[in-house]
Amino acid sequence: MDVNLALSPQAIAFARLDTKPKILARTAQLLSAAYGLDESEVLESLEAREALGSTGFGRGVAIPHCRSKDVRRPSLALIRLEAPIDFSAVDARPVTLVCGLVSPENAGATHLHALAAISRLTRDEMTLQMLADAPNIEAVYALLTNQFLRDAA
């Protein structure tokens, strides 16, 4: 299944953030800078979604997500945290990897397919380890690009 996720190297960061609000703010910043979105709108949408329940997916991964009228396809941002942060995840494990997703406003199934693709990717222990060990943003970008292309084939 081809999800056709947008991924820009500009949307990948290594960061030391110590609270969930700071993580959501940095996610909004990355998504807006990489994909030309309004940062305050994205942040407001991410916070509104998070208020419904934690997007802490488990296994040290959070997938904060929202929708926007200003994107044409699901678009991804990734933050690798330098130190684990409590994100109220379903398994109570602190988060070290944040996969931010913004999808088109009316992309019901497409949004769910994008979330599922990210979920599949982050369930793979080897992929998580490679993301954790990647020496720089370029290596993370290459790994994710190759992973999503392989999954689409």
Active site residue ranges: 65
Residue 147: Cβ within 10 Å count: 17
Q: Which two tokens stand for residue 16?
A: 């030391």
Q: Which two tokens stand for residue 116?
A: 């599922």
| Rounded Cα distance, 87 and 95, in Å | 6
Which helix (H) or strand (E) element contains residue 49?
helix 39-52
Residue reference for tokens 């500009």: 10
Burial (CB < 10 A; 0-12, 13-18, 19+), residue 91, is: exposed
| Rounded Cα distance, 109 and 103, in Å | 10
Q: Which residue type does 130 have? A: M
